[in-house]
Amino acid sequence: MKTGITVRNMGPQSTPEMMRDCVLLAEQAGLESAWITDHIAIPPDDAEGSGGRYADPLTTLSWLAGMSTSIMLGVGVLVVPYRPPIPTIKQIATLQELSGERLLLGLAVGWMDAEFRALGIDRRQRGRITDEMLGLFNDYFSREVITVNDQSFICSPRPVRPPVYIGGAALHALKRAIRFDHGWLPMARDLDRLANDIAAFHGMAKTSGKAAGPVTVMTGLPLKDEVLVREQLDRLRELGVERVICGVRYNTLAEFEEQLNLLNAVSRP
């Protein structure tokens, strides 16, 4: 099972220097991946912890790719309806190529009413918008030429399609992951519930005549309790989880490094 860690691209911890140093520390420690998140328009009454500051994920990952050499770089998750599909797919393809195919792509429908209002997007249409983008995304990475709005265009750059993990609550996210042949990226706090959801994922895929995609889990781990963390990681391995992403909180680089070292110690076999 692979191990990733979150890097804060929000709030006062999202200075260029701190984001760069966190990713490089994770790379030097041998972690598989570093992950950031996505918000575009935080309202003043929901800005606690971030101050409303969120660095754009695709721009940030592009910049971090140029600073690093081997660590995989993930977004968990990019909110699909916030962005126009064709320019976004072009950005993703370009980032995947320029990073040396190190992109891990979490995608989801989104949830925050205020952001949808600020962007002038009907939140009730987010599922339809997401499905349309996912169909176009798969077409782009599998064909030399596609047609949109009665206009054909060349799909280039077109590197290897980055791994995609659909975020969100089990039923809708699992259906979407199976339909478009992607993996699943849940936020997991209850491992018994996760076990049931993974079993449902495999059952739904089998009914559809497909294989279930890989599961990447984002969770918090009690890193100072080594015994408990090892028990949780062993359970995740038993469930067939491909990757665990440990969400960490920190104010300084030293605090990030401390948690990174704890994670690295307990995640080794």
HSE-up of residue 210 (Cα within 13 Å, Cβ side): 17
At a CB cut-off of 8 Å and minimum separation 6, what does 103 contact? 61, 72, 73, 74, 92, 95, 96, 162
Give the span between the Cα atoms of 184 and 170, in whole angstroms: 9
Residues forming a β-bridge with 175 = none
Q: What is the mean pLDDT of the chain?
A: 96
CB of 233 within 8 A of CB of 266?
A: yes
Q: How far is CA 220 from CA 44, 70, 72, 189, in A?
A: 26, 24, 20, 8
Q: What are phi and psi of 42, to 5 degrees?
A: -85, 125
Give the span between the Cα atoms of 218 and 213, in whole angstroms: 16
Instruction: State pTM to two decimals.
Output: 0.96
What does the pLDDT read at residue 254?
98
> Edge to edge, what strands does the sheet with 164-167 contain?
183-185, 164-167, 103-108, 72-79, 33-36, 2-6, 243-246, 216-219
Mean pLDDT by 10 residues, the chain (269 residues): 98 98 98 97 93 97 98 98 98 98 98 96 97 98 97 98 94 96 95 96 96 97 94 96 97 97 88
What does the pLDDT read at residue 169?
83
Instruction: Go through the domains of the chain in sequence order and give each one's CATH number.
Output: 2-267 (3.20.20.30)
Q: What are phi and psi of 239, to 5 degrees?
A: -80, -5
What does the pLDDT read at residue 269?
67
The pair of structure tokens assigned to 245 is 């992403």
What does the pLDDT read at residue 75?
98
